[in-house]
Chain A
């Protein structure tokens, strides 16, 4: 079946530094990927839609200069959290549309802790 690989699975960084999270579709091409954020005991909140070869579309309230998204190929999208602060600590999850079963395949998530 369709597989989306997300890396790293967890990361700890110092406040003020930047962190890059990768999302790869392993066995299918994804012109569009999605980035979500999930705080403890809460549901997933969509942050942005990543489009291959064009600018990402951000949801209302999400700072595009803080959460940089690059979708340079049909199998890779990256999310960079710039100048991270403790409040950015969260579980970040990517997904891509799987053309096979019309569902969306999700990565395993990245646990970001900013200290």
Chain B
């Protein structure tokens, strides 16, 4: 699976949009981009995933550049409860046995 690079941390004000970047310059054509987050002392939570089109769900939006070498997770109206470590993971969608490998992630701090 391709490697991802994320800045170690960022913060944003409550109510504002949080834009979390991720670089995956070695991504191959059939690798998906997944985002998970981990709130302190809990298991990771699935947020969203995409291949090449932008995706949106009730939690967030995922913007993938046309060359697919980077992506941005957007939390449109961040709340204090969004403070967490966010992991960007690139992997093949190859079946149930495929494992998720976590990098260091980005720590998002939402300030009041």
Binding site for B on A (CB under 8 A): 4, 6, 30-32, 34, 36, 43-46, 49, 51, 91, 93, 95, 97-99, 101-109, 111
Q: Mark B76-107, 1 if CB is under 8 A from A, else 0.
A: 00000000000100000100111111111100
Docked complex Cα distance between A93 and B45 (Å): 12
- Chain A-chain B contacts (Cβ-Cβ < 8 Å), number: 59
* Residues B46-101 near A (CB distance < 8 A): 46, 49, 87, 93, 96-101
Chain A residues whose CB sits within 8 angstroms of the CB of B100 once the complex forms: 34, 46, 95, 104
Contact A43 B104 (CB under 8 A): yes
Contact B49 A108 (CB under 8 A): no
B48 to chain A, nearest CB (A): 9
Docked complex Cα distance between A98 and B45 (Å): 12
**Chain A residue nearest to B104 in the complex (CB):** A43
A51 to chain B, nearest CB (A): 8
Contact A43 B99 (CB under 8 A): no
Q: Please list 10 pairs of residues, one from A and one from B, whose beta carbons are closer than 8 Å in the complex, sorted by A's number.
A: A32-B96, A32-B97, A34-B100, A49-B97, A51-B97, A93-B43, A97-B98, A106-B44, A109-B41, A109-B43
